[in-house]
């Protein structure tokens, strides 16, 4: 710590003004002393010799004249082995350690090291004495769960360095020096297995940034087939309260085709975090056969925790994601919910007496949200490997109004929009992603023409459904009614998915393509149906068989048996493939 000190001159909620004498920088960490307790704070504005700091704890008891000690360091995250499987608060304090120190009811001013300084890791050097290295290149590895954790030259070192000495393979703690580097002027720099990095600065020690083109399979049919997300891409899930945002994120985190999942619970209810903590240790990753918790980091800043640290939790989470991307891993960051972060910004902006923007949010809301999502990306690393950070954020607009500022600011920067509908969630159509308002800029796992064909059926079916509400079923032509039933069937058997069934929740790409071809065949056929009652009975039987089909293992005997039963129902309806559907299926076979 530096010797730079100041004193409190005014207090407004968790915003404290501090008068200082030395040099203070933006985003610097300081500690406000209240009796025997020190409260962690961050400088967010400087006017002359007065710094305004946001305190990450309750400010009860602070008074004018209290001493403030500036550290000279930015708000930083500890990076090194031991992060996986941890549960942190927004300031990267491990919550299990805090519980041991202070009991189940956390006291203010209690902090703990993010990484276990006593645990030894099996370090294997990969660099040799005399090797030239730069920031972002690794000098050794340690095993961490199912992964090989790379030990990097700290990202803050500029220029070229030479390895002057490096330890032999063995067990070391994260604080012990494992190598000594020397720069071009001969200055020596000791390197341990861990180092700090400012959370508000993006880690950019990669060779080049690539376009996100590889689909991130989530095993959720409506996402992968209709509104896909690419590795290194961004997406948002806006929706009203109770529409299923958190369950959808949990399903994605369980089954997504990524190496590491980082969950930032930013201002959400504590019960949802508890659900994650109880479920994840019992779930097995199908790729590694190990507990899902071993490849998960949870940044937990629930609604009952200090509002100021919501912003810190989001930035800490994305910094950890970038760190693991640097190892050539694919990381999924789920932020739930960015609206709570925006509300914290609005609260602080009001205390700073800034000119308010729309709905009293700060005028810089859009730039902050854009800067956060821009930290996602698919990159090529110095060793030629690739890694990615995919960011998915939920938005909780008041009353489900997608025109509010946070949703609109998010839609401008993300690559996919999964809009949840109150009507669909009330009708128990889950996931409640509305296929008529959602969109994606990324490539689907199914053929683009088949995707367009299915979307057109849904669109036309919705128009007919709206018309039927006015003229009734009797005033609707039979051909239109059949199209409406086709759209309802597609919705029920493909867009809807049971998150609590192990088979249906985990719908792989091969199965999605196979089922899509079957649906195109059925939806693209004309039938010899004489009445609306016949049509209703025919599609109800088909729909039920398809739903049963979704619950059996792909390519199993039961799967084949149900497929034969579906074909029999189709033949009884004397289905005749239309020229459009026939062309789509033939093109799919050629591809």
Instruction: Name the token pair of 377.
Output: 């990306």
Specify whether 229 is located in the same domain as 172: no
Question: What's the average model confidence in pLDDT over 321-345?
Answer: 95
Q: Residues 174-199: pLDDT tens digits?
A: 999 999 999 999 899 999 999 999 99
Q: How far apart are alpha carbons 564 and 323 in whole angstroms?
A: 50
Q: Are residues 427 and 369 in the same domain?
A: yes
Position 2 scores a pLDDT of 57
Number of domains in the chain: 4
- Of 139, 170, 193, the last residue of a domain is 193
The phi, psi pair for 483, rounded to 5°, reads -60, -40
What pLDDT score was predicted for residue 307?
78
Rounded average pLDDT over 248-260: 91
Of 261-275, 344-358, 440-454, 559-573, give the lowest mean pLDDT range: 261-275
Quick one: pLDDT at residue 589?
Answer: 56
Give yes or no: residues 93 and 71 share one domain. no
40 phi and psi, to 5 degrees?
Answer: -70, 135
Residues 433 and 460 in one domain: no
Which of the four pLDDT bands, split at 50, 70 and 90, describes residue 568?
very high
Asked if the structure places residue 201 within a domain, the reply is no
Predicted structure pTM score: 0.94
The CATH number linked to 141 is: 2.40.50.100
Residue 143, both tokens: 């095993």
Which of 18-32, 52-66, 274-288 shows the lowest mean pLDDT across its residues?
274-288
Please indicate, yes or no, if residue 111 is contained in any of the structural domains: no
Q: Is the pLDDT of residue 302 over 50?
A: yes
Distance of alpha carbon 308 from alpha carbon 39, whole angstroms:
12
CA pair distance 117, 120, nearest whole angstrom: 8
Per-residue pLDDT tens over the stretch 521-566? 999 999 988 999 999 999 999 999 999 999 999 999 999 999 999 9
- What are the structure tokens assigned to 98, written together? 């805090």
Residue 376: strand, helix, or coil: coil
Tell which of 154, 169, 193 closes a domain: 193
pLDDT of residue 337: 86
62-66 contacts at long range (C-beta below 8 A, 24 or more positions apart): 62/8, 62/11, 62/16, 62/32, 62/34, 63/8, 63/11, 64/7, 64/8, 64/9, 64/10, 64/11, 65/7, 65/8, 66/7, 66/8, 66/32, 66/33, 66/34
Interacting residues of 278 by C-beta distance below 8 A, sequence separation 6+: none
Q: Tokens 């002057």 — which residue?
A: 164
**Range in 6-10, 46-50, 104-108, 452-456 with the lowest mean pLDDT:** 104-108
385 shares its domain with 259: yes
How many C-beta atoms surround the C-beta of residue 135 within 10 A?
18
Measured distance CA(294)–CA(282) in Å, rounded? 11
pLDDT over 60 at 204, yes or no: yes
Could you report the per-residue pLDDT of 28-42, keeping only the tens digit for each? 999 999 989 999 999
Q: What is the reported pLDDT for 108?
A: 87
Can the peptide bond before residue 337 be classed as cis, meaning omega within 30 degrees of 0? Answer: yes
CB 152 within 8 A of CB 161: no
Which pLDDT score, from 0 to 100, does residue 585 have? 74
Residue 457 sits in the same domain as residue 363: no
- Look up residue 443 and give its DSSP letter: P
Q: Are both 298 and 381 inside the same structural domain?
A: yes
Percentage of residues in the chain with pLDDT exceeding 90?
79
Same domain, residue pair 385 and 501: no
**Whether 93 contacts 114, CB under 8 Å:** yes
d(CA 391, CA 393): 6
User: Half-sphere exposure of 356 toward its Cβ, with a 13 Å CA cutoff?
Assistant: 13
Tens-place pLDDT, residues 52-64: 999 999 899 999 9
Find the largest Cα–Cα distance for the chain: 90
312 vs 587, higher pLDDT: 312
* Mean confidence (pLDDT) of the chain: 92
Residue 469 preceded by cis peptide, ω within 30: no
Question: What CATH number should be reported for the domain holding residue 313?
Answer: 3.40.50.300
How many angstroms separate the CA atoms of 215 and 268, rounded?
28
Domain assignment present for 200: no
Same domain, 344 and 487: no
The residue out of 378, 411, 440 marking a domain boundary is 440
- How large is the average pLDDT for residues 236-265? 90
What is the domain range of residue 548? 448-590
Torsion of the alpha carbons at 109, 114, 119 and 120, rounded to the nearest 10: -150
d(CA 165, CA 144): 24
Backbone angles phi, psi at 317, to 5 degrees: -60, -45
Q: How far is CA 540 from CA 235, 453, 456, 490, 534, in A?
A: 35, 21, 21, 12, 10
Instruction: Give yes or no: residues 290 and 253 share one domain.
Output: yes
- Evaluate whether residue 316 is within a structural domain: yes
Give all strands of the β-sheet with 188-192 in edge-to-edge order: 132-133, 161-166, 177-183, 188-192
pLDDT for 590 equals 47
């Amino acid at each position: 710590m530096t010797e730079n000190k100041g004193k409190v001159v005014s207090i407004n909620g968790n915003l404290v003004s501090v008068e200082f004498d030395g040099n203070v920088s933006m985003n610097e960490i300081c500690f406000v002393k209240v009796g025997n307790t020190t409260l962690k704070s961050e400088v967010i504005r400087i006017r002359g010799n007065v710094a305004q700091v946001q305190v990450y704890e309750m400010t009860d008891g602070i008074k004018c004249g209290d001493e403030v000690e500036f550290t000279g360091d930015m708000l930083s995250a500890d990076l090194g082995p031991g992060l996986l499987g941890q549960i942190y608060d927004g300031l990267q304090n491990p919550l299990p350690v805090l519980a041991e120190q202070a009991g189940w009811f956390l006291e203010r001013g209690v902090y703990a090291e993010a990484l276990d300084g006593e645990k030894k890791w099996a370090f294997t050097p990969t660099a040799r004495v005399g090797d030239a290295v730069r920031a972002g290149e690794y000098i050794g590895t340690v095993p961490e769960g199912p992964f090989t954790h790379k030990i990097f030259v700290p990202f803050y070192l500029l220029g070229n360095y030479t390895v002057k000495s490096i330890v032999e393979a063995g067990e070391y703690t994260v604080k012990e020096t494992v190598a000594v580097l020397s720069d071009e002027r001969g200055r020596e720099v000791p390197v341990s297995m861990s180092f700090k990095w400012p959370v508000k600065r993006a880690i950019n020690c990669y060779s080049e940034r690539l376009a996100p083109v590889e689909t991130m399979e989530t095993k959720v049919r409506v996402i992968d087939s209709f509104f896909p997300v690419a590795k290194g891409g961004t997406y948002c899930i806006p929706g009203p309260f109770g529409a299923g945002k958190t369950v959808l994120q949990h399903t994605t985190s369980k089954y997504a085709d990524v190496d590491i999942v980082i969950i930032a619970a930013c201002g959400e209810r504590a019960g949802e975090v508890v659900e994650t903590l109880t479920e994840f240790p019992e779930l097995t990753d199908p790729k590694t056969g190990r507990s899902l918790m071993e490849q998960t980091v949870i940044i937990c800043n629930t609604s009952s925790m200090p509002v100021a640290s919501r912003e810190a939790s989001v930035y800490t989470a994305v910094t950890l994601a970038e760190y693991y991307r640097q190892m050539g891993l694919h990381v999924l960051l789920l932020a739930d919910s960015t609206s709570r972060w925006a509300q914290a910004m609005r609260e602080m902006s009001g205390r700073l007496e800034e000119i308010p923007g729309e709905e009293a949010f700060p005028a810089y809301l859009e730039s902050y949200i854009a800067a956060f999502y821009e930290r996602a990306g698919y990159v090529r690393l110095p060793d030629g490997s690739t890694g990615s950070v995919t960011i998915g954020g939920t938005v909780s607009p008041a009353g489900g109004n997608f025109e509010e500022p946070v949703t609109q600011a998010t839609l401008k920067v993300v690559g996919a929009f999964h809009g949840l509908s109150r009507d669909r969630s009330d009708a128990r159509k889950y996931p409640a992603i509305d296929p008529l308002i959602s969109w994606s800029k990324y490539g689907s796992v199914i053929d683009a023409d088949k995707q367009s064909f299915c979307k057109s059926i849904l669109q036309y079916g919705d128009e007919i459904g709206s018309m039927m509400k006015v003229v009734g079923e009797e005033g609707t032509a039979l051909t239109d009614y059949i199209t409406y039933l086709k759209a309802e069937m597609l919705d029920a058997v493909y867009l809807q998915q049971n998150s609590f069934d192990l088979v249906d929740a985990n719908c792989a790409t091969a199965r999605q393509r196979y089922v899509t071809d079957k649906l195109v065949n059925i939806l693209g056929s004309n039938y010899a149906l004489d009445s609306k009652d016949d049509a209703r009975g025919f599609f109800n039987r088909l729909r039920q068989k398809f739903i049963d089909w979704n619950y059996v293992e792909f390519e199993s005997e039961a799967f084949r048996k149900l497929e034969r039963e579906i074909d029999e129902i189709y033949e009884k309806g004397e289905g005749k493939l239309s020229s459009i559907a026939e062309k789509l299926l033939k093109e799919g076979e050629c591809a």
